[in-house]
Amino acid sequence: MHMFDDSSSAVKMNRYTVSPLKIGLRVDYKGASYKITDHFMEQNAVRQYIIQSMADGGTKRVFRHEICDARVSSVFSNLTEDTIFNFENNEQSQSDEELSQIDEDLTANCINQEPPAKKPRFKELPSKEEIEKLALARTEPRTNQQTLWGVQLLRGWLTENKYSSSFEELDETTLNDRLCYFYASLQTKQGNDYSKSALVGIRSAISRHITGPPYNRDINIITDKSFMPSNHVIMDMMKKLKREGKDVISVHKQTVAEGDIQKLSSSGIFSTEISLMIPSNSPK
């Protein structure tokens, strides 16, 4: 009767058994991060590992090959103590140095694997200057030019009268006072009064400037009660223009008299049957 030498088999198994992974080591399992908390190997069985999720603390019991990177070759990823022992029986065993290198390679591919960077859902966070450009883009270029023109007029008046040219942060009372005198002082470079539409445009330009970026003030110099005095000034200026006959926006041609219309009609010039002929002696 053949007797099986247990001690000889144990020597062979111990010789070619891969050292277990260290407890506390971070590994990758199905794309998630875990750490090894324990390992065990029942009699004549493959070693198993207890891993704990780094995300929710849940634990799992897995084999060595289950915590290998999917990119590792199938031979290495399925390498276990049993397969190493079988290599010995098939005279295809590897040296302790080779097995140690395999284990290091597997560990390098399995440990600390970070998931691929997720593509951003939105654009890069815009700067404050880019936000301001977007606000300017909502108005027509012609409107932006008019805004700049009205603001430059006010700055010029402030500088000429020894005030600070920065008016955007003035309190409402002070700003209203400045506007009262500014409106009353307005005239063209030729010394003439501005038209009604020009006065309205200057006031609107200043309003757009202080309520737009970067100031974004929550005031309205046209309708707010605190700016009623300055608006009374500009309204009085418009009435003065009307009394003086200077509020005419466009000059219309004189109306054709009824008698002249009858003469044109009787002459047949409006007839569709008349064709215009170029005289033969006319230059071509």
DSSP 122-141: SPPPPPHHHHHHHHHHTS-H
Tokens of 48: 């198993």
pLDDT tens, the chain, 284 aa long: 444 454 444 444 444 456 788 888 888 888 888 888 998 887 777 888 899 988 888 898 888 888 854 344 344 455 555 555 554 555 444 555 665 666 666 565 555 556 677 888 888 888 888 887 787 777 788 888 999 999 999 999 999 999 999 999 999 999 999 999 999 999 999 999 999 999 999 999 999 999 988 899 999 999 999 999 999 999 999 999 999 988 765 445 567 777 777 777 777 666 655 555 555 555 54
Rounded-to-10 torsion of CA 268, 274, 275, 281: -50
pTM of the model: 0.46
- Distances from the Cα of 35 to the Cα of 32, 57, 146, 205, angstroms: 10, 10, 67, 66
Q: What is the DSSP letter of 250?
A: S
Tokens of 277: 């002929």
